[in-house]
Amino acid sequence: MFTGEIANSSHMGLSAREMEIIGLVADGLTNQEIAERLTISKRTVDNHVSNMFTKTGSKNRVALLNWAMDHGKICRDGFNCCSLPDETDT
């Protein structure tokens, strides 16, 4: 369900791995599923998600995804007017 590319997040202090995890959260994956997909431990994913909550001021996954949409980090068809490149443009 995640569409588009991940925008540069260095100004927000989010790592490339954290942005990758936001994309997987947007796809509806649980922390366990994310861990399996990335071949890392669930605890590592838990730590990344917790760090993203702190960095973005989000209190839960829904708020984190809202933050990501508001800041152009993820695009959801018809719900986000960010200027991320279209996959067909690459």
For residue range 15-62, list pLDDT tens digits in order. Answer: 999 999 999 999 999 999 999 999 999 999 999 999 999 999 999 999
What confidence category does residue 88 fall into, taking pLDDT thresholds of 50, 70 and 90? Answer: low
Domain ranges for the chain: 16-71
Query: Please, what is the Cα angle at 47 between 3 and 33, to 5 degrees?
Result: 50
Three-state SS annotation for the chain: CCECCCCCCHHHCCCHHHHHHHHHHHCCCCHHHHHHHHCCCHHHHHHHHHHHHHHHCCCCHHHHHHHHHHCCCCECCCCCCCCCCCHHHC
For 80, phi and psi rounded to 5 degrees? -145, 125
pLDDT at 1 > cutoff 50: no
Q: What confidence score (pLDDT) does residue 3 get?
A: 40
Assigned architecture for domain 16-71: Orthogonal Bundle (1.10)
pLDDT at 78 > cutoff 80: no
Q: What confidence score (pLDDT) does residue 29 get?
A: 97
The residue to which tokens 């973005």 are assigned: 56
